[in-house]
């Protein structure tokens, strides 16, 4: 798209189905590389990826050539299929339905990168559910609590 100039930074947050802690350190880095490849394939720029065993955070510099929902559908479907084909787990891996997508200005990017890099430290003081609800409130997103999370089994 000639003469199209954009600066779109989106933080994506999404969870393992039932928030099970299935993202093990044994394959976490391979998963991150796989997701990075999906993002690059679609001509977006991954700025940072990190998470916990039950959820991930991505900060992506997006091009306006694809919708947020299309990118997330591809990331979640392709990565869950990849995890299952690689047989990293004895159970079927699935992502929970839905995701959070939060936009940031250029001036906030370094702060968000630091936040995502420090997930392990951050989650010593706040649960994922608390974190996610805080994002929804901070970004003034209307939500129905009964649809935000499927309860763990």
In tens, the pLDDT along 20-49 reads 999 999 999 999 999 999 999 999 999 999
φ/ψ (deg, to 5) at 61: -85, 110
Per the prediction, the chain carries an average pLDDT of 93
Per-residue pLDDT tens digits for 63-99: 999 999 999 999 999 999 999 999 999 999 999 999 9
What is the average pLDDT across 118-134?
91
What is the average pLDDT across 112-132?
93
Token pair recorded at residue 62: 């997006």
pLDDT at 152 (0 to 100): 54
Domain 8-148 grouped into CATH 3.30.70.1290: yes
User: Which residue ranges make up each domain of the chain?
Assistant: 8-148
Read off the pTM.
Answer: 0.91
């Amino acid at each position: 798209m000639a003469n199209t100039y954009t600066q779109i930074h989106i933080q994506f947050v999404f969870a393992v189905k039932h928030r099970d802690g299935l993202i093990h350190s044994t394959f976490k880095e391979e998963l991150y590389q796989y997701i990075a490849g999906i993002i690059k394939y679609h001509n977006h720029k991954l700025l940072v990826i990190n998470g916990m065993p039950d959820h991930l955070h991505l900060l992506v510099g997006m091009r306006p050539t694809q919708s947020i929902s299309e990118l997330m559908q591809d990331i979640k479907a392709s990565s869950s299929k990849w995890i299952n084909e690689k047989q990293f787990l004895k159970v079927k891996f699935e992502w929970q339905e839905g995701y959070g997508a939060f936009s940031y200005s250029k001036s906030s990017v370094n702060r968000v990168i630091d936040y995502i890099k420090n997930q392990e430290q951050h989650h010593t003081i706040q649960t994922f559910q608390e974190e996610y609800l805080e994002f929804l409130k901070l970004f003034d997103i209307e939500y129905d609590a009964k649809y935000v999370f499927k309860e763990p089994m």
